[in-house]
A = this chain, B = another copy of it.
């Protein structure tokens, strides 16, 4: 039996602008997908028992049982599709793959990339396929792109594979930066990345004189953020997050729910800054909490009280690894 795990990701700065060649900064986070492969002679089974789907706690579970269980099925089905594409691609037989995830699906935290990377790494090790880490990243990206019918971004699979931070312009490149404590707030609203990306690109086509300077400001924020993370200037980093959030709102990818979590964390949560992360239109936001224990609790509580689910994560964590 082999167990491999891969981290999720957040985009810290520059989402959307990156589609037009502006620098974005992504970070691996220590919410992980675990893929277990064991021999199963004559069989080929995939099991997805846990995808961290109790996104709103017991209340929603009890009140909207039907919706929640539909959701489980759909997301579990989606995860199964990624794993089965991995198995097909490498003509794998006689195994059982079990995937569990700490990353809420369809939330913009890269769960599908992590599912692909973790299951591919586990199979690679278990069956001795001999893929190097770079080959693993490349194959995982191909598979994610195939299942998502051409969408997918090399950033997600790169972060799931290498961990740490990735600076993305036309391609993703690893960049050395220290860890950050971050609160991720999930609105519970799944989003459609393709839709949000198209919306922004359409806006850009119809109004380049408005959107291009917005992208320019975003690129500058991404660049400025590197030094803040390096020197742990958290107040300044928070200000950059606030500015970047406004620019994403200007592009039309903000939502009421995201805004509520963002303002809750900045206000009652005493965070140094907050922004939506990823494509927007739902999904997650991130906040830099005041660093002491109280600050972290306050930021998390504020997000939960505003109707979200809160995770304390460390950015820049380890990439894919064989756990067993």
A interface residues with partner B (beta carbon < 8 Å) = 203, 207, 209-211, 213-214, 216-217, 220-221, 224, 239, 242-252, 254-256, 259-260, 263-264, 267
Top 8 A-B pairs, shortest CB-CB distance: A246-B250, A246-B249, A213-B213, A256-B263, A213-B217, A213-B216, A209-B220, A243-B250
Q: Could you tell me the distance in whole angstroms from the C-beta of A213 to the nearest C-beta in chain B?
A: 4
Specify which chain B residues have a CB less than 8 angstroms from the CB of A242 in the assembled complex. Answer: 249-250, 252
Min C-beta distance of A85 to chain B, whole Å: 38
Quickly give the copy total for this chain: 2
Name the residue of chain B whose CB is nearest to the CB of A251: B246
Q: Which residue of B lies closest to A263 (CB)?
A: B256
The one of B213, B216, B260 in contact with A220, judged by C-beta atoms closer than 8 angstroms, is B213
Chain B residues near A224 (CB, 8 Å)?
A: 207, 209-210
* A130 nearest CB across to chain B (Å): 47
Contacts of A220 in B (CB 8 A): 207, 209-210, 213
A245 B250 Cβ-Cβ under 8 A? yes
A251 to chain B: closest CB distance in Å?
7
9 more A-B contacts (CB under 8 A) besides A210-B220, A210-B243, A259-B263?
A203-B239, A207-B220, A210-B221, A213-B213, A213-B216, A214-B217, A217-B217, A243-B252, A246-B248
